[in-house]
Chains A and B, each alone.
Chain A
Amino acid sequence: MRTDNSSEKRRKNRRLAWILAGLVLFMLVSSIPFWKGLFELAVSGAS
């Protein structure tokens, strides 16, 4: 048995990488103060 990356394995690797990238994105956008601050900025800008 050889471990050269088969297309199936590459697909699995990419899929897991994208899931982890999603987790990174979630952590970025769920830094709640970011959105809180952005909202306040928008409100104060409007007023």
Chain B
Amino acid sequence: MSTATIDLEHHEDHEHHGPPKGFKRWLFSTNHKDIGTMYLIFALTMLFAGGVSAMAIRAELFLPGLQLLEPDLYNNLVTNHALIMIFGAVMPAAAGLANWMIPLMIGAPDMALPRLNNLSFWILPAAATMLILSFVVPFFPGGGTQINTGWTIYPPLSIQVGMSMDFLLFALHMLGISSVLASINIIVTIFNMRAPDVKLTQMPIFVWTWLVTAFLLILVIPVLAGGVTMLIFDRHFGTSFFSAGGGGDPVLFQHLFWFFGHPEVYILILPSMGVLASVVPTFSRKPLFGYASMVGAMIAIMIIGMVVWAHHQYTIGMSLGAVSYFMIGTIIISIPVGLMVFNYMATMWRGAMTFETPMLFAIGILLMFSFGGLTGIMLAVVPADMQYHDSMFVVAHFHYVLMPGAVFGLFAGVFYWLPKWTGHMYDEKLAKIFFWVNVISFNVTFFPQHFIGLAGMPRRIVDYHAMFTEFNVISSLGAIVFGLSHLLLLYIIIKTIRGGKQAEDKVWEGAKGLEWELSSPPPFHSWTTPPKLAVS
């Protein structure tokens, strides 16, 4: 690894032109920092939209019987919550971090294809509008039935749903196009725009995680696009790809969907794991343990993650050979994932650790994500999964994987780099309060769901047996606190943007990397001359 000893005299001569003024700065922006900021604001907005639907779901499940929501509306909310969180909140937030940090970390002046970058972002609000319309349209006369399929949009139900499904399908296409364009841009940036001294093997792990993630995206999003296109044809052009009545096969869609859907989990998690590779060494004051093995683990996750999709479909009736293959493959993934977790633990080992908010989130992630991984191994085992399938246990499992594995990683990244982005230190005391309230309420929400799932409570059902009441009450109370705690995050971010203690260029004592050699906030045009690295 190299440490950056950088000649900074190049900045001044490019300070003569700053950002354009007014809305044009944002609408026509080709600046990676501005576009990164827009991604992050968009993601935060969608986080609240998805959060409101989650709180409505938990409010309904507070007690058995129908409380607030009609069953169709409940199912609609379940569908929208998932899609908004995955495509609207987590993926754009990770793309925001990528836009902000990759050029800074590799010494590039900007993304390789800045106009494409602008397009990638501005497709998102249009897609989100379509997605939200899919939720709203059924409330209008002639709007048809509500979307009651869940985010998996399995046929034949998705063929029968009204016109709201068309909004959803086109939203998925647009979101896919945005992701693919952004991924192409990221790959080209990493391969072609690195400063001459920054070799592939010297790149920060965060950049590596995004390289792997971008390749995953361009390999699996087109397959989802194929499935969605066929679904549109089945709905409107008389084909029968997935309609058994016309000789088609609904299970075919499940294969296409999960060929995308399972790697999507790694698409959501890997960038956050990359954030940890910056955070953990900084606050442990030690170099990252096992750089090469980390890169190898990521590539292994990418390859194996693409060939185990059918563990989501054990109950469809596959051959013994097929389920055995998918079970073994799924369990094998725990090896590279576990290796990454152990590398972070080894990095902390005997380090001079301090516990600022990003580090608290990092430790929380390692504990809770590992727990989610353990329940994942339970679900990978075919006979056990036959019992757990479509129960609340699955809901608990994937929230333990995705909240710590993806969202908490993004929070860690935001707190880690917010002083660099804004030039102001955030309020550490408030941030720690946010961490503890957020993490405790998360566990209060989702831990009890393991028990009610194991006891037989199905998911995606608006009502439940009275025997599950106590744990559901606890879960719903936790969810309300968990949801509201994000208002504190919003307050901390706004407060930091508006002012606060001036951040130093190298915000954290133990931080290493090119991004810390720039001022806080960085100049509008950064790395106009490539940095030179001094090998330590």
Contacts and interface: CB of A to CB of B under 8 A. Distances in A.
Given A34-B230, A41-B239, A44-B247, A20 B219 contact: no
Given A3-B195, A34-B230, A37-B248, A27 B223 contact: yes
Nearest to B229: A34
Interface string B57-76: 00000000000000000000
A20 B186 CA distance: 11
Interface in B14-56: none
Contacts of B402: none
B528 A31 contact: no
20 contacts: A1-B529, A3-B195, A3-B528, A4-B109, A9-B192, A13-B188, A14-B113, A17-B184, A17-B185, A23-B218, A27-B218, A28-B223, A28-B225, A28-B226, A33-B230, A37-B230, A37-B239, A41-B240, A41-B241, A44-B247
Contacts of B108: 3
A30 to B, nearest CB: 9
Interface string B239-252: 11100000110001
Given A4-B109, A27-B223, A40 B528 contact: no
B256 interface: yes
B528 A2 contact: yes
B227 A31 contact: yes
Chain B, interface residues (CB within 8 Å), range: 35 or more
Contacts of B188: 13, 16-17, 20
Given A3-B528, A23-B218, A16 B241 contact: no
A12 to B, nearest CB: 6
A12 B192 contact: yes
Interface of A: 1-5, 9, 12-14, 16-17, 20-21, 23-25, 27-28, 31, 33-34, 37, 40-41, 44
A31 B180 contact: no
Contacts of A13: 112-113, 188, 192-193
A23 B255 CA distance: 21
The SS class assigned to the A binding surface is helix
Interface in B205-228: 218-223, 225-227
A24 B219 CA distance: 6
Contact of A37 (B193, B225, B241): B241
Given A16-B187, A23-B218, A31 B226 contact: yes
Interface string B404-429: 00000000000000000000000000
Interface of B: 107-109, 112-113, 116, 180, 183-185, 187-188, 191-193, 195-196, 218-223, 225-227, 229-230, 239-241, 247-248, 252, 255-256, 527-530
B530 A3 contact: yes
Nearest to B114: A5
B113 A33 contact: no
Given A3-B108, A3-B528, A31-B256, A24 B187 contact: no
Contacts of A5: 109
Contacts of A14: 113
Given A33-B256, A41-B239, 6 more contacts: A2-B529, A17-B184, A24-B221, A27-B223, A33-B252, A34-B229
Contacts of B195: 3
Given A12-B192, A25-B222, A44-B247, A20 B184 contact: yes
Nearest to A20: B184
Contact of B527 (A3, A20, A25, A28): A3
Contacts of B218: 20, 23-24, 27
Contacts of B248: 37
In this complex, which of B113, B185, B188, B529 has the most chain A Cβ atoms within 10 angstroms of its Cβ? Answer: B188
B219 A27 contact: yes
Contacts of B252: 33, 37
Residue from B192, B195, B230, B247 with most neighbouring chain A CB atoms (10 Å): B192
Nearest to A25: B222
Given A2-B528, A3-B109, A37-B230, A17 B239 contact: no
A34 B195 CA distance: 42
B221 to A, nearest CB: 8
B18 to A, nearest CB: 17
A3 B103 CA distance: 12
Contacts of A20: 183-184, 187-188, 218
Nearest to A21: B184
Nearest to A37: B241
Contacts of A9: 192-193
Contact of B226 (A2, A23, A34, A41): A34
Contacts of A23: 218-219
Contacts of A34: 226, 229-230, 241
A27 B226 CA distance: 9
Contacts of B229: 34
A15 B102 CA distance: 21
A24 B240 contact: no
A2 B107 CA distance: 12
Most chain A beta carbons < 10 A, residue from B184, B219, B229, B252: B184
Nearest to A40: B247
A31 B223 contact: yes
B113 A17 contact: yes
